[in-house]
Each structure stands twice: as C-alpha cells, then as structure tokens.
Amino acid sequence: MPSKVLPKVSFFEVLKNAGSILKNPLPFHHRNFEKHGDVFKVSLGFGKSVLFIRDAGLAKHMLQKQHKIYHKSPLQSKELARYVGEGLLTANGEKWLRQRRLIQPAFHKKKLEKLLSTMEMVIDKELNKITTDTEIDVFPLMSDLAFKVVAMSLFSYKGEDKVIRRLQDITEKAQKTLIKEIRQPYKRWWFYLNGTVRRALSETKEARDLLFQIIEERRASQERYDDLLDMLLESRYDDGSAMDNEQLIDEILILFTAGHETTSNALSFGLLLLAQHPDQQQHLFDELQQQKSADLLDEIKNSEYTTYSIEETMRLYPPAYFSDRVAIEDDIYNDLEIKKGTTLLISFFEIHRNSRNWKNPETFNPERFKKDAKEYSDYYFPFGAGPRMCIGSNFAMYEMIMVVNRLVSKYKLNTKIENIEIKPLITLKPKSSYIHFTER
C-alpha cells in the first residue's frame, strides 16, 4: 500500500504568520487542521519540517503502544533541558527509565496520602489572602499556592519566601525565552547575539545554586522529614550508587517547575469556568454540603462533581497542551509512513476539542465525565499517556480538589470575563483570570 501523501504548510506561510504565531500559535494550528485534516506537515525552513497531529489514535500509538521508538525531541531533551536540567521530563531512553524507577515510589498513593495535612495547611494559608471587596486575579494566587505546596509537601521547605519567589520568577523568565526560540527559530542567532539566552542561562544557574543550598541545608540538619527530598538523597541505583548533586538538582528543578505550572494553570482556568457557570458551581456546592466525613482522603474520594469539573477544565484547557516526539526508527500507522528522524507534534488542545471525539466540544459540561473512563481514555490526555504519563498526576488532582472545594464551600465565584483568552507558553495559561469572591 502506498504511503499517504501529507498536505504541507509552506515556510512562507509560517513567516507570513510569524507575529501571530509568536503571540498564540493555536489559531494558526486550528486553521490548518480544519483545512488539511488531522495530520499535516509544516516546513520550518533550512530543510526542517514537523508533522502536526490531532489524530487521537496516532497519539496513543506514539505515546503508549510504540513509545520505545518515539523519544522526546531535541526541543525538550536539549533546548528545555538547558533551563530545567536533564531529568524525568527531558531525558530519553535508559536514563529516563533509570530515573523513573528511582522516583516513582515517592508518588505512590499511600505516600501521597501522608502529605494531605501538609497540603491542606499550605492551601488554607494561601487562600486566606483572598479579599471579597474587589475582583482579584486568581492566576498569581494559584501560582504562589501551587509552588508553595510543592516546596512544603515534597521538600518540607520552611525557609524564606523570597527564595521561593525567586525560583518562581526564574522558571517563568526561562520559559518565555525558550518560547521565543521555539516560535522564531530563524531569529535564534539574534537571541544569542543580543544576550537574551545568556541572561536566561545565568538566571538558571542562580536557581540551581539556590536548590544546592536547600540540599546542603538538609544534609547538614540531619533531620528526617520523610519527604521526597529525603527519598532522593537516600535512593540508590541498582549498582548501589546515589544520585550526584547535578542530577539531584535537575530532578528537583523539574519537579518544582512542572509540579506547580500545570496545577496553577488548571486551577485558574477551572475557577474561571465555575465563575462563568453558576449552575455547575451550585451543583458542586450542593455535593460538598452533603459530605459528612472530616477525613481529607474521604473528602477527595467523595468529591465526584469537583473531580468531573477539574477533568472537564483540563479537557478544554489542557495545561500540557502539546507534546512532541521524534521517531528513532521507521514506523507505519495505518497508511502513514513515518521515517526515522521525523519530528511530530501532538496537539492535545485540538484532540480535546475535536467534535468527532466529543459532543458539543466547546461547552463546559462536567457531567460528560460521569461515564466510565474507558469510554473517553482513547482521546483524553490531560497528563499524557503511556509510560511517560505525568508522575505527579495524583498529587495534582488531590491538590486541585482540595483548593476548589475550599473556595466553593466558602465563596460564590463571579466573573465579568465572557470569553476566556489563553496565553500558550510551554504550558497553557489564562491571559486574564479576574474573579469576584462573595462570602456565602
């Protein structure tokens, strides 16, 4: 059977839309998916190209069934790794597998359950900052909250807030620099020449130095916290060796970055959606009123409508809205021949809004998740799929359920925002997230 000939978007078309792509590439992607179908090729100039994908079956084929022959592309394994290190998020092959086996036990549900009281303490402290006399932008609040939940729950960090704020600031600046490089590869030489990349790398070095201090303080204290940092310091590979400091910092930096970014984004979008939909918000409140147990784990397990609301939020606004892979061997999917070395970009944003997968895909409808997960798992990827699925998915869900429950049980949420605008960086962020909170 002859291989399928893919439609192609020219490099001229990319250049013509360069300004809008830099601000938000998703409309450009959508127009081309609608015009060319679920798989098309985009020319990046200099003989380079990438396949864009919104075929859920092909996504699952790459991420799950044939994951061994699809590695993270240099975009993540080299470019992103310059800023966050070579760890779970960015490593490939044996190195990734080795690190995953080492870190996975720390995210077992039984381990996470022990962290719930710490998570609750941080969440309650941060949510006390909410004022009811004016609209507030919830994104900075959720970003601070999520960063501190990671710092306190996984690393028992009790140092100065300014260190946490500085780590946050550095990771966000590095992300913006990387986005410029990704979306304007033809200007990469200029970003090096004008010092943009040098400044970002210098600040990344500062973040690594701050994390090194946290590690050394823990070693010097000789106290046990039974947290992730303890486990990472004590873990040993099969040959009996421990992680060196550089690798340890890589993993911590990645967990700080990935562990707060996706959660704060999803929470901000979720609160906006509930504020826009008072009926769904009331349904969630009514469910909370029926809860009787004071046990945190029981609360989480019994919060069905909260869970549906968060899942629906991540369908409409998946924080990790794309993923990319490079084929390290030749492969065939249906009538599509994929050559070794091909770079592929999966748009979870498009898959999650494809009308072939979802009824009324633009509508916020938490109840669509009442059905068995098997019915939608083939085209729903909020945390990725396959062996590289997000290691912290349960941690994130526990945190988000607790935050939404506490806010909706105490406040009515309202917003003047009618159309949610997005800011796609490495993760998907809301452009504006102003909400008015009224005491119930």
CATH assignment of the domain containing 364:
1.10.630.10
Q: How does pLDDT run across 42-55, given as a tens digit for each residue?
A: 998 888 899 999 99
The answer as to whether 3 is a domain residue is no
Inside any domain, residue 405? yes
Q: What whole-number distance in Å separates Cα of residue 197 and Cα of residue 180?
A: 10
**List of residues 6+ apart from 234 with CB closer than 8 A:** 242
pLDDT at 412: 96
Domain count, the chain: 1
What length does the chain have?
440
* Tokens representing residue 260 in the block: 């707060």
Cα–Cα distance measured from residue 369 to residue 379, given in angstroms and rounded to the nearest whole number: 13
- Look at residue 2 and tell me if it is in a domain: no
Please give the structure tokens belonging to residue 349: 């944003």
In a domain, 263, yes or no: yes
Kindly tell me if the per-residue pLDDT of 78 is higher than 90: no
Residue 56 belongs to a domain: yes
pLDDT at 1 over 60: no
Cα–Cα distances (Å) from 281 to 87, 296, 434, 438, in that order, read 39, 21, 17, 13
User: Could you tell me if residue 1 is inside a domain?
Assistant: no
What global pTM score does this model have?
0.91
In a domain, 283, yes or no: yes
The SS3 of residue 8 is strand
Report the relative pairing of strands 422-424 and 411-414 from DSSP bridges.
unpaired
pLDDT digits (tens, 9 = 90+) for 256-275: 887 788 999 999 999 999 99
What percent of the chain clears pLDDT 70, i.e. is strictly above it?
Answer: 99
pLDDT of residue 86: 87
Mean pLDDT of 24-42: 95
- Residue 361 and residue 182: Cα distance in Å, rounded? 29
User: Confidence band (pLDDT; 50, 70, 90) for 242?
Assistant: confident
In whole angstroms, give the CA distance from residue 157 to residue 211.
11
In the predicted model, is pLDDT for residue 157 greater than 80? no
User: What is the pLDDT, as a whole number, of residue 314?
Assistant: 97
Note the pLDDT of residue 3: 61
CA distance 363 to 356: 14
Q: What's the domain range around 335?
A: 8-439
Question: Looking at the domain assignment, is residue 78 inside a domain?
Answer: yes
CA atoms of 133 and 7, how far apart (whole Å)? 54
Comparing 139-148, 183-192, 194-203, 302-311, the range with the smallest average pLDDT is 183-192
Confidence band for 397, pLDDT divided at 50, 70 and 90: very high
Nearest to 185 by CA among 274, 264, 298, 73: 73
